[in-house]
Amino acid sequence: MRKLLPLLIAIAAPMSMTAGAVDYQLEVLAEPLEHPWSITFLPDGAILVTERPGRLRIVTSDGLQPTPVAGLPEVFSSGQAGLHDVLLAEDFADSGILFLSFAYGNDDENHTRVVRARFDGQALFDVTPIFTAQPPKSGDAHYGGRMAWMDDGTLLIGTGDGFYFREESQNLGSHLGKIIRIRDDGTVPDDNPFVDTANARPEIYSYGHRNVQAIVNDRDQGVIYAHEHGPRGGDELNVILPGRNYGWPIISHGKDYSRALITPFTSYDGMEQPLLHWTPSIAPSGMTLYDGELFPQWRGSLFVAALAEESVRRVPMLDGGEPGAQDTLFEELEQRIRDIRTGPDGALYLITDEPEGQLIRVAPVR
């Protein structure tokens, strides 16, 4: 059963917009979800939610369905490892095809993997791997896993550096710490930036990333945004361009968890600067570009879910592509927010990364 949280919060409009307030209400659509990681919306109005231990759940107007989707691949679940993103094919209404990213393997040898599968409403069929990050790594941290479609129908996949292997982010012979671009069958586009580079992985689109946590395609502006975790501080929001080096670990605005200096450089020739960075760390996770009708004051803003800060940052994008003054939202939940999406109804949907997490709808006060 749905329940309304008794929260009617007035948030001051940013200076770049008309003065006023935005009143919203938070509605819990489903709980408990075990460390939910990603959400997507089905054409029939249902919502798919991944749970990190390896389950794909269905939420309908009746709430969380008791039986998880059948036929999922085997998932390595430990620490940060588990089932991560879910993404529908752009022709899903006709094909029933979806994509899942997850950790695959064991503690000694594991990978970020993406599979393609057919969904019939209850189970997955024809589950086929289309990408497996190489080389294998050990440990259970920094997988990335977010996915997004480009305008040409190719698929972007963010990976992580594996935590213990930060130097791999600069190694074009490794998929670790990269953004990957492939076709939906796993083949490599001919115009990828390193297709003709000796010893480079041809799937690489950009490199020098630490742990990519969201990718958003602003189709109107022709811009790809991605954010990633820094170490102790230095979380980044970047504009992603093909073949560019985003610097990790040669440049960083953060320090190591021990407070030791990772690098003396915050900039370096040939390496991209972030559009913005967060210090102290907010631990960004999930992001949406709001283009709905329910909150006209928020149109054109990026909404960034934050784990450590237990909030959502609203980042208005100004003319010229620069970020405006940020708002901090939904702190009243006091939960780690893992993902945020714009629903087909124009509401915002978010999930909380807790042992008994929630799927929450954010809409104007009725």
Q: Is 142 part of the annotated catalytic residue set?
A: yes
Measure the CA–CA gap between 80 and 140, rounded to whole angstroms: 6
Is residue 28 packed enough to be buried (19+ CB in 10 Å), middle (13-18) or exposed (0-12)?
middle
Q: Which residue has the tokens 């992985």?
A: 201
Contacts of 196 (CB under 8 A, 6+ apart): none
Catalytic residue among 142, 209, 229, 277: 142
Contacts of 44 (CB under 8 A, 6+ apart): none
Contacts of 362 (CB under 8 A, 6+ apart): 24, 25, 26, 27, 330, 347, 348, 349, 350
Closest residue by Cα to residue 356 from 32, 2, 59 = 32
Is 290 within 8 Å of 348 (Cβ atoms)? Answer: yes
List, by residue number, the catalytic residues: 142
